[in-house]
Structure 1
């Protein structure tokens, strides 16, 4: 039997590649003659570059960048032909901060701008940015600042990093000399944001209201940041000729704390991260004719069924009439929800071990053992 193994990362414990290898090892222990096809998956968040590098090859350009608080971090740009792939979480990710450091009023996307500049210097004709897992809520202002256009006050003074200052932004200013953003536009560089959300920039379902609290925002912070992003959208629409109308309302603008809106404002577009990955990794072709598909992630919850990896994989398996098994750190979805999405069965490490602590401590062993159990059921 051919078995397709295509998990996402298990946040905080295993990368998608490591999770796939653990599942494969467990299956081989039971059915060593089965054909295993490993296709680790990401939806735009952490692991985006690693997954694409494994699937597409290419070369990794090491780029010194900065984290959401401006501290040095190692970044990478994956170059495949004329396309550069960038993972925004390498510079903006929540995993860079301790819980005490989370404050979306002051975190910045400037480090992502550094990675984009490196892609421009590498003469990329197409830049694809994975959006997800961010600690930021600055509407991409930090990234744009690194590309040569910045938020400024009524008297032309640039603002410090952080989304809170955007409430006072009166206009955009441009750095003197060689401006990376203008160079991109003159050379016709295509820019694409790959996201797992379609939230708008502002409002009850926007970046601040939905994702701000998990980044450390209080209810008062959410109100402040939402108003700040609304003002930022107004300024971008007025001062950037490439910015589409009604920016604050466009689907995907709220991705990664408003990074999606910044990409739209400079003439880019937002696409589904899982659909992009499915296409680039040849996942649908691999699934066709398989006996079973195994996917998973750290938490299989209601968000998993809204444009994330499990939803995309299960839909592809359902279209082919192939069973789709989910192995997750924990499972909080009901069987009816799972079945409607195309998931035929789901197993959790927490239930397997009997505790969250052990599931977090030994995820690879747990995945091996769960894969062995599933293999016995399907081989029999």
Structure 2
């Protein structure tokens, strides 16, 4: 039996490569003769650069940029010819924000990553968005590229209170002649009931009672910067980084589609008998550009069954099948929450071994 293993990261515990290796280890323990094809995936969030480097080769450029609270933060840029790939989470990811004031977290370092790619000779820069801990509408990125306003742009969303003028000419000149592409895992708009703050603010540490006020700040910022662009799909990605990049002329592509093309996922699915995907928390939000839905869609087009292994499964069979998943299996349900987080690799391997009993003919 040929099994394609194409998981996303298990956020906070395993990279996509580690997850793929754990699944393969457990599967092989039960079915050692099965042919396993490991294909780690990403959707624009953490792991984006590593997955693309493994698939495309190219040169990794090590840089140091400002983190979300201005401390020096290491990051890498991938160059493949004159196309460069940047992972925004390396400069403003949730792990870098921790429990600190999310309203003060900024995206200046992402702008520095973009500038370094341009300086290295990029003609196209693809910016992966996802897993951010910031909610500043991309104002920090714009500041790093040369934009100026009458309020500080590099102090998080809190610094934007009272902003009434914004000059983007310096930032536009900095990326002049460079094609910008947003690789986004969500299609959220910038503001409103379904905007960045209301949808993702709580998981970044913005309190429930502050959501309306923070959204109002971004609404005023959008009125100054470009209200129409704020309504574009993906403008709210990564706390509004999508919006800032679109102001500079970026086009948007689903991150999962870009990665799937790079790793040849469709062809590999056609060669498989079964496709396995997964992520940390498998719920109905997985439909919005996330890896499991993207992998399942490609598996379906290849007429191959797709199952998901996840840290937690929070949807029922009907919703699961709406996402193209035949069955989903939970690490927490098998071993409990404690072991699932304390030993994520062995726990996922144990689940894969159990799933192999059901799906492998061995």
Task: Please report the TM-score for the alignment, with normalisation by the length of structure 1.
Answer: 0.91
Counterpart residue number, 1:367: 348
Q: Is the 8 A contact 1:8 1:297 kept in 2?
A: yes
Structure 2 residue corresponding to 1:182, chosen from 169, 173, 176:
173
Structure 1 225/151 Cα, relative in aligned 2: closer, same or farther at 3 Å? Answer: farther
Counterpart residue number, 1:240: none
Q: Distance in 2 between matches of 1:151 and 1:302?
A: 39
Counterpart residue number, 1:2: 2
Q: Distance in 1 between matches of 2:234 and 2:220?
A: 18
1:290-329 aligned within 5 A: 290-329=272-311
Q: Distance in 1 between matches of 2:104 and 2:148?
A: 16
Q: Distance in 2 between matches of 1:122 and 1:231?
A: 35
Please state if 1:207 is matched with 2:196: yes
- Displacement of 1:129 in angstroms is 0.7
Q: Distance in 1 between matches of 2:311 and 2:43?
A: 18
- Displacement of 1:235 in angstroms is 1.9
Secondary structure of the residue aligned to 1:168 is: coil
Counterpart residue number, 1:163: 157
1:335-354 aligned within 5 A: 335-353=317-335
Structure 2 residue corresponding to 1:149, chosen from 147, 150, 156:
147
> 369-378 or 312-321: which moved more?
369-378
Secondary structure of the residue aligned to 1:85 is: strand
- Displacement of 1:121 in angstroms is 0.8
- Displacement of 1:31 in angstroms is 2.7
Q: Distance in 2 between matches of 1:297 and 1:184?
A: 35
1:63-74 aligned within 5 A: 63-74=63-74
Please provide the CA RMSD for this pair: 1.6
Counterpart residue number, 2:215: 226
Q: Is the 8 A contact 2:143 2:154 kept in 1?
A: no
Please state if 1:356 is matched with 2:354: no
Question: Unmatched 5+ residue regions in structure 2?
Answer: none
Q: Distance in 1 between matches of 2:348 and 2:154?
A: 45
Counterpart residue number, 1:281: 263
- Displacement of 1:371 in angstroms is 1.9
- Displacement of 1:220 in angstroms is 4.2
Structure 1 84/159 Cα, relative in aligned 2: closer, same or farther at 3 Å? Answer: closer
Question: Unmatched 5+ residue regions in structure 1?
Answer: 238-244
- Displacement of 1:58 in angstroms is 1.0
- Displacement of 1:166 in angstroms is 2.2
- Displacement of 1:336 in angstroms is 0.8
Secondary structure of the residue aligned to 1:329 is: strand
- Displacement of 1:180 in angstroms is 6.0
Q: Distance in 2 between matches of 1:151 and 1:39?
A: 44
